[in-house]
């Protein structure tokens, strides 16, 4: 059974109402132009389908394990590199970045078990998500999780050119479970993971990641 994320409830309801109104009104006001009538109705229904698929929330069965870090979102791995993380760690970390297109599932899931040590929202710009400065200038949230296996890791939800709202459920002091719902980013974005140097990475550039399933990194 297809499920939808709770963050989409209002938008889905409004979209359904608008589409129904368009279909009914077009049948009254442009009924004499068959092709225009069908065009308007079909486009309206396609728009509804796009909204529904964007807010879909498929059930994922995560193999929960303290020695694994899983993909927090669906998308494509676009960056694997050593970088300086200036907000929290203020030192070098291994960054893995996953880009989400508008057709990806946009649920954010906790990448590992642990305690939320830090959670902060930053207002900002709406540069395209792959822009080099997006991680520092776009609207974003930064969340740090800690457990005994990996120590501290940081994941950052970053808004893109279309995204206009980031939802983050992580609160400092929370005990979280790997794979559970951590938030949502509406309409296109990316998530960056900052891992300790020396972490064994299990993905490659341009690989498709599945949130809650794909193993990003492991530690023996």
**Active centre residues (catalytic):** 189
Q: What is the CA radius of gyration of the chain?
A: 20
Which letter, b or e, does each residue of 37-46 get, where b requires 16 or more Cβ atoms within 10 Å of its Cβ?
beebbeebee
Distance of CA 153 to the CA centre of its chain: 17
Which two tokens mark 196? 């300790």
Q: Give the C-alpha separation, 164 to 204, whole Å.
A: 29
**CA–CA separation, 140 vs 110, rounded Å?**
16
Quote the tokens at residue 171: 């609160």
Q: How far apart are CA 95 and CA 74, in angstroms?
A: 17
């Amino acid at each position: 059974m297809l499920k939808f994320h709770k963050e989409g409830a209002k938008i889905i309801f409004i979209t359904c109402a608008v589409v129904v109104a368009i279909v009914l009104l077009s049948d009254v006001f442009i009924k004499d132009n068959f092709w225009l009538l069908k065009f308007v109705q079909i486009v309206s229904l396609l728009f509804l389908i796009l909204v529904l698929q964007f807010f879909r929330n498929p059930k994922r069965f995560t193999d929960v394990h303290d020695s694994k870090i899983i993909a927090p979102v669906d998308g494509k791995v676009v960056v694997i590199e050593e970088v300086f993380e200036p907000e929290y760690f203020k030192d070098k970390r291994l960054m893995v970045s996953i880009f989400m297109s508008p057709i990806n599932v946009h649920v954010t899931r906790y990448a590992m078990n642990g305690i939320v040590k830090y959670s902060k929202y930053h207002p900002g710009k709406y540069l395209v998500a792959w822009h080099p400065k997006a991680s520092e200038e776009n609207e974003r949230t930064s969340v740090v999780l800690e457990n005994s296996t990996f120590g501290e890791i940081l994941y950052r939800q970053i808004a893109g050119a279309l995204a206009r709202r980031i939802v983050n459920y992580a609160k400092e002091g929370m005990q979280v479970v790997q794979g559970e719902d951590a938030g949502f980013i509406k309409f296109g974005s990316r998530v960056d993971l900052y891992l300790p140097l020396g972490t064994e990475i299990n993905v490659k550039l341009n690989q498709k990641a599945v949130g809650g399933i794909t193993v990003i990194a492991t530690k023996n």
